[in-house]
Amino acid sequence: MLFAKKSLAYSIIAGSIVLGVLVVLAFQPWGPGLGPSFSPARIALAYVAAFLTLFLPGIIVAMLFVRDKRFKMPLIRAREVKRTMLSTYILTAAAVVAAVYAVGGILTGVNIDLPALITGFTATYFGAAVSLIAWFVGFFVRWAIGGAPWLRTALLVPTLAMIDSGTWALASYAYWRIVRVSAKYSVVRVALGIIAMIAIHMYGWLCIYAGVLNPAPAAIAYIAFAFSTWYPTAVMFIILGALIGEAMYRKAKI
C-alpha cells in the first residue's frame, strides 16, 4: 500500500512539473509577447510555473517525508510521536529557522545571500517538511521587515514564497533520499545530495525568476548580474550550511 501511494505521489509530481513546463513553453516568456520585465502577464505566468513545478511538488514530497519512517527527524526520540506536517516539532522548528532566515535576508541587500546558509542547514538537518513551511512563511516575514529590497512589486511576494519553499522542500527531499536512505555514511552521497540541492535551487531562481519574469535579453543580463554578485555566495552558503547540518545530524546519532 505504501509503495502504491508513493507511486501515485510521484506520478502527480511528474505530471505537475511537466504541465508547468508545457505552460511556460506555450507562452514563450523569452519573447516580447508577454510584455516587459515584471509585467502583469509575466507575474501571472510565474505564479503558475512556481505552483506547478515547485510548490505543489514541494507539498507532496514534504508529506511523503514525514510519513517515511526511514527518515529519523532530529530531536524526536519517542517512537510513538505523531508524524504529521502540523506536528508541534515541525511547526516549532519551522518558526525558529524562518525567523533566522528572515533576519538574515537583510544582508542580501549588499549581494550576500546569507539566507542560503540557513536554508542549506535546514534542508539537511530538519528535512523537507520544516523547509516547506519555514520558507513559505519566512519569505513573507523577510519581505515585511525589509529583507528583500530587490523585490520590485508586492504582487511577487507569494510567487517568491512558493519558489523558495518549493525549491527547498524538493532539494531537502532529494538530499535525504540520496544520503539518508542508506544507514552507511558516504562522502560521495553527501556530495551528490548537495549537487542536487544546488541544481534545484538554480532552476527555481534562474529559470522562473529570471527566465519567466523577463524577456531573453533582460533574463541574460540578470543571470550575468547574479553570477557576478550574489549567486556565488548562495552556492557557498548552501554548501556550508548543508555540511553543518549533516555534521550535526550525524553527531546526534539519530
Q: Give 10-residue mean pLDDT values along the chain (254 residues).
A: 71 96 96 94 96 97 89 63 79 91 72 88 95 94 82 88 96 95 86 97 92 96 92 94 94 72
Specify the pLDDT at position 76: 60
The CB-side HSE value for 81 (13 A sphere, CA atoms) comes to 19
CB neighbour list of residue 58: distance below 8 Å, 6 or more residues apart: 128, 132, 165, 166, 167, 168, 169, 170
Q: Please state, in angstroms and rounded to a whole number, the distance separating the CA atoms of residues 237 and 193.
A: 15
Nearest 10 degrees: Cα torsion 177, 133, 85, 5 = -50
DSSP assignment of 14-49 equals HHHHHHHHHHHHHH-TTSSTT-STT-HHHHHHHHHH
Q: Please state, in angstroms and rounded to a whole number, the distance separating the CA atoms of residues 47 and 57.
A: 14
CB neighbour list of residue 153: distance below 8 Å, 6 or more residues apart: 38, 43
Give the distance from CA 64 to its chain's centroid: 16
- Read off the amino acid at residue 231: Y
Q: Please state, in angstroms and rounded to a whole number, the distance separating the CA atoms of residues 149 and 161.
A: 15
- At residue 37's C-alpha, the angle toward residues 33 and 40, to 5°, is 75
Q: Please state, in angstroms and rounded to a whole number, the distance separating the CA atoms of residues 152 and 221.
A: 16
Give the distance from CA 50 to its chain's centroid: 11
- The domain total for the chain is 1
Q: How many CB atoms lie within 10 A of CB 35?
A: 12
Specify the pLDDT at position 31: 95
Residue 184, classed as helix, strand or coil, is coil
Question: Which residue, chain included where needed, has cell 519551522?
Answer: 94
Domain span at residue 45 reads 2-251
Length of the chain: 254
Specify the pLDDT at position 2: 45
Report the candidate in 248, 238, 53, 18 with the shortest Cα–Cα distance to residue 131. 238
| Backbone dihedral angles phi then psi of residue 31, each to the nearest 5 degrees | -90, -175
